[in-house]
Structure 1
Amino acid sequence: MTASHTLSTENLTLGYGDRAVIEGLDLTLAAGRITVIVGANACGKSTLLRSMSRLLTPRTGRVVLDGREIHRTPAKELARTMGLLPQAPVTPEGITVLDLVGRGRHPHQRAFSRWTAKDDEAVAVALEATRTTELVDRSVDELSGGQRQRVWIAMALAQQTDLLLLDEPTTFLDISHQIEVLDLLTDLNRTRGTTIVMVLHDLNLAARYADRLVALASGALHAAGTPEEVMTEDTVQAVYGMESRVIEDPLSGKPLVLPIGRHHSKADGIGAGHRAEPPVNARKAADR
Structure 2
Amino acid sequence: MTTDHALTTDKLTVGYGDRVVIESLDLLVPPGRITAIVGANACGKSTLLRSMSRLLAPRTGHVMLDGRQVHRTPAKELARTLGLLPQSPVAPEGITVADLVGRGRNPHQRLLSRWSRDDDRAVAAALDATHTADLADRSVDELSGGQRQRVWIAMALAQQTDLLLLDEPTTFLDVSHQVEVLDLLTDLNATRGTTIVMVLHDLNMAARYAGHLIALADGGLHAAGPPTEVLTEECVRAVFGLDSLVIVDPVSGRPLMLPIGRHHVSVERARPHGEPGSAIPGTGRGTVPYPRS
TM-score, shorter chain, exceeding 0.5: yes
**Does the 8 A contact of 2:3 with 2:31 survive in 1?**
no
After superposition, residues 42-53 of structure 1 pair within 5 angstroms as 42-53=42-53
**1:108 — aligned with what?**
108
**Aligned residue in 2 for 1:230:** 230
CA distance in 2, matches of 1:106, 1:91: 15
Distance in structure 2 (CA, Å) of the matches to 1:63 and 1:32? 18
Give 1:265 shift: 1.3
Report deviation, 1:108.
0.2
- Aligned residue for 1:192? 192
**Structure 2: segments with no counterpart, 5+ residues:** 269-293
Report the equivalent of 2:38. 38
After TM superposition, what 4+ stretches of structure 1 lie above 3 angstroms from structure 2?
none
The answer to whether residue 128 in structure 2 is matched with residue 128 in structure 1 is yes
Q: Which residue identity is paired with 2:38?
A: V
| Amino acid aligned to 1:220 | G
In structure 1, give the amino acid aligned to 2:227. Answer: P
Structure 1 match to 2:9: 9
Query: CA distance change for structure 1 residues 135 and 109 in 2, over 3 Å: closer, same or farther?
Result: same
Instruction: Write out per-residue CA displacement over residues 86-109 of structure 1, whole angstroms, 9 at most, x where no aligned residue.
Output: 000011110000000000000000
Deviation at 1:132, TM superposition (A): 0.1
Unaligned runs of 5+ in 1: 269-288
| Letter paired with 2:47 | T
Distance 1:42 1:190 in 2: 32
1:215 maps to what in 2?
A: 215
Map Cα deviations across residues 63-102 of structure 1 (whole Å, 9 max, x no partner): 0000000100000000000000000001111000000000
Q: How does 1:79-228 map to 2 (within 5 A)?
A: 79-228=79-228
Distance in 2 between the 1:28 and 1:267 partners? Answer: 38
In 1, Cα distance between the equivalents of 2:44 and 2:164?
19
Mapped partners of 2:267, 2:80: distance in 1: 55
Instruction: Give % identity.
Output: 76
SS at match of 1:110: coil
Q: CA RMSD in A?
A: 0.8
Amino acid at match of 2:137: D
Correspondence for 1:283 = none
Alpha-carbon distance in 2 for matches of 1:20, 1:163: 27
Structure 2: distance between partners of 1:249 and 1:231: 12
Distance 2:267 2:38 in 1: 29
Alignment partners' CA distance in 2, 1:139 and 1:27: 40
Letter of the structure 2 residue corresponding to residue 209 of structure 1:
Y
Query: Take 2:195 and 2:2, find their aligned partners in 1: how far apart are those partners?
Result: 9
TM-superposed CA distance for 1:258, in Å, is 0.2
* Counterpart for residue 64 of structure 1: 64
- 1:200-246 residue CA offsets vs partner (Å, 9 max, x unmatched): 00000000001100000011100000000000000000000000000
Q: Report the Cα offset of residue 2 of structure 1.
A: 4.8
- The CA distance in 1 between the partners of 2:114 and 2:21, in whole Å, is 43
Distance 1:29 1:81 in 2: 15
Q: How many matched pairs? A: 268
Give 1 or 2: higher helix fraction: 1
Q: Distance in 2 between matches of 1:73 and 1:211?
A: 29
Q: Which entry has the higher C-alpha Rg, 1 or 2?
A: 1
Corresponding residue of 2:288: none
**Alignment partner of 1:241 is 2:257:** no
Q: Which amino acid aligns with 1:257?
A: M
State the AA in 1 paired with 2:102. G
Alignment match, 1:255? 255
The CA distance in 2 between the partners of 1:221 and 1:168, in whole Å, is 19
Alpha-carbon distance in 1 for matches of 2:23, 2:13: 4
Deviation at 1:3, TM superposition (A): 3.2
Secondary structure of residue in 1 paired with 2:50: helix
Instruction: State how far apart, in whole Å, the 1-side matches of 2:210 and 2:191 are.
Output: 16
